[in-house]
Structure 1
């Protein structure tokens, strides 16, 4: 007569244990694993390939490589490490999914699909602040290159992080996460970019990042950004609707600056410098006094003032197979390049066979 009550009790206990385990697994959670080692110094290395990584790194403060996962962020160092190594710090959230991340100085700001903005101290991995922002697109891809090089609706300026959602542009203070201003954008503003001079351009208009107010004097749009850093931010130039190139490194756009074109199988400079580099190439960007090109699978660094070639080397590690590949996304700093390589026939689906050049598709090089 006692077997049935005992069986019922056992079933109740097992159910309670299952509920407890399920709650622990599925409940919202945040896990911070802070750095234990001192903040690394910036490396200064001779020009050349230093390594390759499985995930696409955001190079932060010239000292860290920060990686995006579907539900986590982690960092390793030094930037010139040959492969990915044990993380210095990591940050995980559940069940939210990461949308993208950006960095201003040593502060890493992440945006999640539930709308939360989380700022991490890149030196330690500890949380600096949180803010409730608009919902965002969830993580896509395998390497995280979309999240770190082209985060959807996420931009930076000197002291603000900007979010764009459903034509609403909002500026957040990078120091404490407070909302500085929010303004609606007109139809046609599904994307945009920030300029070195402190503006946000989108569609046919532009806005002052300091105040959020529309700028009345601006080249006729829609504008095409030129030479931007990651996250379509800190763009030094733009082309207006007529194709005229403008320098936007100051608050007032001018027609000065260095203008580069790739017509006729050569790279030609005009404006503040006049020269011609007689080979076909893709312009990766201009950083300081250097013009960085991709010629086939070779990285080429030119003197921006004269066009003289300063260095040239193939973007392969020493023990890697040497076959053709094509670039997808990249980050260019003053001293580093991180570039994701795809197979020549790769389409738009990263899950397709033979999409990436190798299992470690992101090549890293010192400039």
Structure 2
């Protein structure tokens, strides 16, 4: 009798142990760090050149890559669809997902898509196949950031993630947080990190903010660690500081905003400086030496494209030489115009009735003009974030009156709030 009871207790204990192991294995499979890569199963699509006009509407913000794909951001996933001029979002061409990290930023250069994650991991993907090209570690992003459902902040304005073309032609990926790390875009090989190139305060992120890269291959850092704020220009390929600069007559505190940049504040040709909370700024052109004063960029709404400062002044769209300040052209025939985006060879404006007007920044000549409307949605909306690249323009459409504190259903016009147009 005692022997049978002993065997029964052993059997129960073994069964309980096996059940515990099974549960633990299931939990591990579900919660363990993992990545899932779903590469493309079709050929790389050809580049598209659609006629000017509205292409379609999308539920999420697209990043145009190589003129062939649209890349999107989800909470834990980056994925692409095609064709680039498709009317709606389609089945993913490729997809890459990580767990439990969250996607924090995406940039692209040529056929390489670079993703940054909440744990600091940087993963580069080949846009042609969706396969992982390389992985690297870097500093984790600092602080919280609100990202609405379109993911526009992740793909159109990533924080602390930049690409720069160095003087020797190499392309460099830079990630910034509590420190800075630079890797080669080609293979992810480390080039430098700020821990080893300069003596820093214990918490660099508290007073050093990387804000963009220059067209000449420098990382722009706003350094407020001392008594007076200084703008630092650091060589992207070596990490060496080439210049520490502040405008003459500036106060101790300073805000510096790059202008004339590509997507993600990369390759910036200018800078605007101002006191915190002050719209009265000073514009500067960036080059090999110290920034050169460019009063045509003083206005907070002025944009720099192809050497021209474009702004709406008293209802008139004006183009001025950023270097000399000379007026190049003016357009008084665009009612209630608002400059929403620029890209090489194009300045994009919305009229009061949401017509999208695209001008040549060098001459002010009209490239295209059409109503920015999809289906029966109408034009009774307010523009939100906007993006321009590869001849395309994408604009978030917001419900009027705009309520920045409202949930996404109240904030956006429809379930497909992003309108995409070719110009």
Distance apart, 1:222 and its partner CA:
4.2
Query: Which of residues 229, 236, 241 in structure 1 aligns to 2:262?
Result: 229
Equivalent pair of 2:149/2:408 in contact (CA under 8 Å): no
Equivalent pair of 1:201/1:223 in contact (CA under 8 Å): no
Structure 2: gaps of 5 or more residues: 166-170, 195-199, 223-229, 248-253, 275-279, 295-306
| 1:271-282 equivalent positions in 2, closer than 5 A | 271=321, 274-278=328-332, 279=334, 280-282=336-338
Q: Is 1:160 the equivalent of 2:168? A: no
Equivalent pair of 2:262/2:343 in contact (CA under 8 Å): no
Structure having greater relative contact order (Cα 8 Å, sep ≥ 6):
1
Equivalent pair of 1:58/1:149 in contact (CA under 8 Å): yes
Query: Which of residues 113, 130, 135 in structure 2 aligns to 1:108?
Result: 113
Name the structure 1 match of 2:376: 320
Name the structure 1 match of 2:237: 210
Distance apart, 1:66 and its partner CA:
0.9
1:37–1:350 CA distance, 2 compared to 1 (3 A): farther
| 1:181-196 equivalent positions in 2, closer than 5 A | 181-183=192-194, 188-196=207-215
Structure 2 length normalisation: TM-score? 0.78
Name the structure 2 match of 1:258: 308
Distance apart, 1:281 and its partner CA:
2.4
Q: Is 1:39 the equivalent of 2:61? A: no
1:304–1:108 CA distance, 2 compared to 1 (3 A): same
Query: Which of residues 147, 157, 164 in structure 2 aligns to 1:150?
Result: 157
1:144–1:286 CA distance, 2 compared to 1 (3 A): closer
Name the structure 2 match of 1:170: 181
Query: Which of residues 284, 290, 311 in structure 2 aligns to 1:246?
Result: 284
1:238–1:12 CA distance, 2 compared to 1 (3 A): same
Residue 324 of structure 1 aligns to a residue whose secondary structure is coil
Distance apart, 1:170 and its partner CA:
2.6
CA distance in 1, matches of 2:134, 2:308: 39
Name the structure 2 match of 1:61: 66
Q: Tell me the alpha carbon deviations over residues 99-126 of structure 1, each in whole angstroms, 9 at most, x when there is no partner.
A: 1111111111111111111111111011
CA distance in 1, matches of 2:26, 2:355: 53
Larger Rg: 2
CA distance in 1, matches of 2:401, 2:192: 45
Q: Is 1:15 the equivalent of 2:35? A: no
1:259–1:108 CA distance, 2 compared to 1 (3 A): same
Name the structure 1 match of 2:403: 347
Query: Which of residues 179, 182, 189 in structure 1 aligns to 2:190?
Result: 179
Q: CA RMSD in A?
A: 2.6
Residue 212 of structure 1 aligns to a residue whose secondary structure is coil
CA distance in 2, matches of 1:132, 1:175: 15
Q: Is 1:25 the equivalent of 2:30? A: yes
CA distance in 2, matches of 1:24, 1:180: 36
Q: Which sits farther off after the overlay, 233-242 or 214-223?
A: 214-223
Structure 1 length normalisation: TM-score? 0.89
Equivalent pair of 1:96/1:113 in contact (CA under 8 Å): yes
Residue 216 of structure 1 aligns to a residue whose secondary structure is strand
Structure 1: gaps of 5 or more residues: none
Figure out how many residues of one structure are paired with residues of the other and give that number: 364
Q: Which sits farther off after the overlay, 95-104 or 239-248?
A: 239-248
Residue 223 of structure 1 aligns to a residue whose secondary structure is strand
Equivalent pair of 1:52/1:82 in contact (CA under 8 Å): yes
